[in-house]
Amino acid sequence: MLLAAAACAHRPLAASDLDRVRRPAFISRIDEGAGPKARVFREDGSYSGKLKRLEPKEADRRLQVKLSKGMTRFEVSETLRATVFAGLPQEHPWNNVVEAAEVARELQSFLVEEVPANPPDYELLRPLGADAVVEFVIEDYGMRSTGGRAGTFIEGYGRMFTLAGRGELWRRSFRADQIDSGSPHVDPFRVGKEPAQFRLELTSLIDGVAAQFSKDLNPPGRSPRLAPEGAERAGPDDSNRTGKETPVKPPAKDDELPDPDPI
């Protein structure tokens, strides 16, 4: 398991609390300044020979640009939301959630690429029939390196609370880090040439976080319940999924990192 979280930052969800929820809404967002961040060349001098005259700060800046192209802020937050949701059982209340597109429309969630990314106004969800919110907040993510080993990382928290009184029913903080978990080295120079590699590596961490969240949100001791008549399970919304974004122009030649070593 790639997920690490302090015990004091975990409030388990009680089956009795979940039984009282009728129509939850899912929100996934990224804090302002959370990333993507490149903390590779400034924090690890192992690459100085490869960089030659390129300053570590500038190398990190160039890598950060590549990270943002490999996986956008929206894709990071939406992947976490959709993967957690896909791991939940098709029973009440998870088959009676507010449609993802409706939540996005009310909260203007697709502006997640813009900075600052302001916290949403949860009261806007009441007219949609929501009585609880499942929220995922990403506080930091990107790439880092130590001792010549680089990898991706992501951290933040998930929580569930009621709209009436904002009572918190569940919370878990998380940090998933490929260096801490002993995963294979991710060559930052190769990521610089193939930004999609960052997507693959970060998605593997998100999958681990999502699996833990799905488990948390399905506490033991509940009897399967059907959704209210007419309720439908709201699937992931693809309004801004990969392939629907504006094409990005190739970077200028002088904005590139050195080539990776041959495999």
- Residue at 89 is within a domain: yes
Task: Quick: pLDDT tens for 143-196.
Answer: 999 999 999 999 999 999 999 988 999 999 999 999 999 999 999 999 999 999
Total domains present in the chain: 1
Averaged over 23-31, what is the pLDDT?
94
**Tokens in use for 181?**
């978990």
Q: What is the pLDDT of residue 166?
A: 85
- Residue at 21 is within a domain: yes
Cα Dmax for the chain: 67
Q: Verify cis geometry, omega within 30 degrees of 0, for the bond prior to 116.
A: yes
**C-alpha to C-alpha distance for 203 and 180, rounded to whole angstroms:** 17
The range of the structural domain enclosing residue 102 comes to: 3-218
Residue 117 has pLDDT above 70, yes or no: no
pTM: 0.84
Q: What is the pLDDT of residue 255?
A: 75
- Residue at 170 is within a domain: yes
Task: Quick: pLDDT tens for 239-249.
Answer: 444 334 444 45
Cβ partners under 8 Å of residue 254, min gap 6 = none
- Residue at 244 is within a domain: no
- Residue at 246 is within a domain: no
- Residue at 224 is within a domain: no
Task: Tell me the CB-side half-sphere exposure of residue 178, using CA atoms within 13 A.
Answer: 25
**Tokens in use for 149?**
């080993």
- Residue at 256 is within a domain: no
Helix or strand holding residue 99 (H, E): none
**C-alpha to C-alpha distance for 146 and 46, rounded to whole angstroms:** 8
- Residue at 258 is within a domain: no
